[in-house]
Amino acid sequence: MSIAARMNTFVEDLQEHLCRRLEDEDGAASFEVDDWTREEGGGGKTAVIEGGDLFEKGGVNTSAVEGELPEHMAEALSDAEHEVEPAPFFATGLSLVLHPHSPHVPTAHANFRYFALGEDRADPDDQWFGGGADLTPYYPRLDDAQHFHRTWKAVCDRHPRVADYEAFKEQCDDYFYLPHREEARGVGGIFYDYVRNDPEATLAFSKDAGEHFAEAYLPIARRRRTADWGERERAYQELRRGRYVEFNLVYDRGTKFGLESGGRTESILMSLPPEVAWRYDARPEPGTPEARAQWFLQPRDWLALSPEDVPEATSPSARPSTEDENPPRDA
């Protein structure tokens, strides 16, 4: 079986597995599945969960599309080492985004994808893999960031021929950065793209990474989902979600490629959070947990840090909400 076929089978199986795991973790909501076809060739399956106990909105999407790569997209996919020409293409992948209710539970994103050029899918003229996973906490914790990164380092270390945690972490830090805000989207993770050198080894790495997303994320969600939160925390979460939207609509290459290649708009924009806020020149009050969170919004070597390296929020207003002071909302 070709690498293209095996990758496509993998992402379809991974979607079913993750949907079951996430439904079990949520405990109240189920995924609604929407099969779609693309006029130019191929299609996909969009699975969305909304209004759950854990997840306010989330999606686990797969696609397998084909057709003739237009010239402007070929130019966008070219780099200094590889020039891409208009040609028949095949692309398959899985993309997921999870937006929890609780401001104490991070948003998570991951995708694993494969792209091939040429008439013969079993022996393509060019092929490459891309993907990764990143974490976007609203009230960041060092132990959460370290668990997330430790999981991905272990995955990379099992595939030294094609995966380099330090390089993939740096690429993630560079990619998920908002230059106009001079801040990162979150605490990063790993990101890789245009990996061509060993397709068999890279397929094995991508499968290993996809199979470990739940291990990287769900323990964090379990630890944080029961923490109290109120209107202040929700307001800050919505403000930070605005940064998420800014990145996805302004910088994200996957969003641009999907829209410019005639992809399914509902599936592409599924990644956006359901409730967002923008407030003019919003700045956290010094000494608050919101101010402390800003420290996490620059790339750091998370695995080398200790708790003493993280600044503390020390003002009285920085105390976590309690039932008497700030009643928690239903989450």
Tens of pLDDT, residues 212-240: 999 999 999 999 999 999 999 999 999 99
Token digits of residue 84: 């891409």
Q: What structural domains does the chain harbor?
A: 3-318 (3.40.1500.10)
What is the distance between the alpha carbons of residues 160 and 205, in angstroms, rounded to a whole number? 9
Across the range 21-47, mean pLDDT stands at 95
Task: Give pLDDT, residue 330.
Answer: 39
Q: Are 112 and 64 in contact (CB under 8 A)?
A: no
Across the range 96-113, mean pLDDT stands at 98
Q: Closest Cα partner for 228 from 97, 98, 319? A: 319
Tens of pLDDT, residues 116-166: 999 999 999 999 999 999 999 999 999 999 999 999 999 999 999 999 999
Tell me what the pLDDT averaged over the chain comes to.
91
Task: Give pLDDT, residue 46.
Answer: 96
Task: Give pLDDT, residue 314.
Answer: 46
Q: Are 148 and 138 in contact (CB under 8 A)?
A: no
Q: Closest Cα partner for 65 from 266, 263, 259? A: 263
Task: Give pLDDT, residue 313.
Answer: 64
Task: Give pLDDT, residue 319.
Answer: 35
Q: Closest Cα partner for 135 from 149, 156, 154? A: 149
Residue 18 has pLDDT above 70, yes or no: yes
Residue 267 has pLDDT above 60, yes or no: yes
Task: Give pLDDT, residue 87.
Answer: 87
**Between these two residues, 258 and 61, which has the higher pLDDT value?**
61
H-only helix segments in the chain: 3-26, 71-77, 142-157, 165-175, 199-211, 213-224, 231-250, 253-260, 265-268, 289-294
Tens of pLDDT, residues 79-91: 767 888 888 999 9
pLDDT band at 77 (very low <50, low <70, confident <90, very high): confident
Please spell the DSSP secondary structure of 156-168, one letter per residue. HHT-TTT--HHHH
Q: Which residues are catalytic?
A: 109
Q: Closest Cα partner for 181 from 266, 239, 258, 100? A: 239
Task: Give pLDDT, residue 289.
Answer: 95
Tens of pLDDT, residues 287-327: 999 999 999 999 999 999 999 999 986 433 333 333 333 43
Sort residue 83 into left (φ over 0), alpha (ψ -120 to 50) or beta: beta
pLDDT band at 73 (very low <50, low <70, confident <90, very high): confident
Across the range 64-84, mean pLDDT stands at 82
pLDDT band at 57 (very low <50, low <70, confident <90, very high): very high
Across the range 47-64, mean pLDDT stands at 97
Helices 3-26, 199-211: crossing angle, 10 deg rounding: 10
